[in-house]
Structure 1
Amino acid sequence: MDKKRWQEVERLYSSAVERRPEDRATYLAEICPDPSLRREVESLLLHGSEADDFLQTQALEAAVGALAYELVGGEASAALVGRTLSHYQILEKLGAGGMGIVYKAFDTRLKRPTALKVLPPDRISDPDRKHRFVKEARAASALNHPNIVTIYDIDQAEGIDFIVMEYLAGATLDNRIPDQGIPIAEALEVGIQVADALAAAHSAGIIHRDLKPSNVMICDSGQVKILDFGLAKLVEEPSIKAGEDSRADSQQSTSRTGEGTIRGTVAYMSPEQAQGRKVDARSDIFSFGSLLFEMACGQRAFSGDSAGSIIAAIIRDEPKPLGQIAAGIPADFERVVRRCLRKEPERRFQSISDARVELQDIKEQLEAQRDAGPLKDSARPAGPAWLPSVQGISGALVVVATLIVGGVWWGLRSPEPLPKFSPIQVTKSAGWEGQPAFSPDGGRIAFASNETGNLEIFVTDWRGGTPQNLTENAAQDEYPTWFPDGSAIAFVSDRNGQTGIWKMSQLGRDPILLIPSGSQPAISPDGLRLAFVVAGGRGYSRIAVSPLAELTRIQILTDDEDGPFDHRDPAWSPDGKSICYSTRHNLWSIPASGGTAHPLTEQGELDTDPCWSPGGRFIYFTSYRGGTIALWREAIGWGRAERLTLGTGIESQPSLTGDGSRLAYSTEGPETSLVLRRRSTGTEVELSSQVRDRMASISPDNRSIAIVSSRWARDFQLGLQPLENGDVTGPLQPLTDQEGILSQPRFSHDGRWIAYYLIQSTSRDIWITSVSGGPPIQVTSSPASEGHPCWSPDDSQLAFTSDQGGPLGIWTVPVPAA
Structure 2
Amino acid sequence: MIGKTVAHYEITGLLGKGGMGEVFRARDIKLDREVAFKVLPQELSGDPERAARFEREARMLASLQHTNIASIYGYEKVDGIRFLTMELAEGEDLSERLEQGRISTEEALNIALQIAIGLEAAHEKNIMHRDLKPANVKVDADGAVKILDFGLARAYSGDASDSQDLATSPTITAAMTQAGVILGTAAYMSPEQAKGKPVDHRSDIWSFGVILFEMLCGRKLFEGETVSETMAEVMKNKIEWSILPKDTPRWAVNLLRRCLDRDPSSRLQSIGEARIALQRGQYHEDEETVATSSTAPASRRWPWIGVVAALLVLAAAIAWNARGGTAPELLTQSTLMPPPDWDFDAGSPFAVSPDGRQVAFVANASRESDENTTAATSIWIRDLSKSESRLVEGTDGAAYPFWSPDGRWIAYFAQGKLNKIDAGGGPVIPLCDTRNGRSGTWNEAGNIVFQRNWSEGLMKIPAAGGTPEPITTLSQERFDVAHRWPRFLPDGQHFLFYLVSTTSQNTSEFSGIYVGSLGSDETRLLLKSGSRGLYSDGHLLYRAGSTLMARPFDAGEQVFTGDPTPVSTDVPGGSISWGGAQFGVSETGPIVHLRGAGATNSLLTWRDREGNSLGVVGDQAGYWEPSVSHDGKHIAVAMGQDAADIWLHDLERDARTRFTFDSADDRSPLWSPDDSSIVFSSARKSVGEIYQRPVSGQGDAKLLNTPGTNITLTDWSYDGRWVLFSSLAPGDQGWDLWALDMETSVAEPILDGPFNESSGRLSPDGKWLVFTSDESGDFEVYVQSFPDAKGRWMVSTDGGNEAYWRADGRELFFLQDDR
Q: TM-score, normalised by structure 2?
A: 0.32
Between Structure 1 and Structure 2, which shows a larger proportion of strand residues? 2
Structure of larger gyration radius: 1
Between Structure 1 and Structure 2, which shows a larger proportion of helix residues? 1
Q: Which has the higher contact order (CA 8 A, sep 6+)?
A: 1
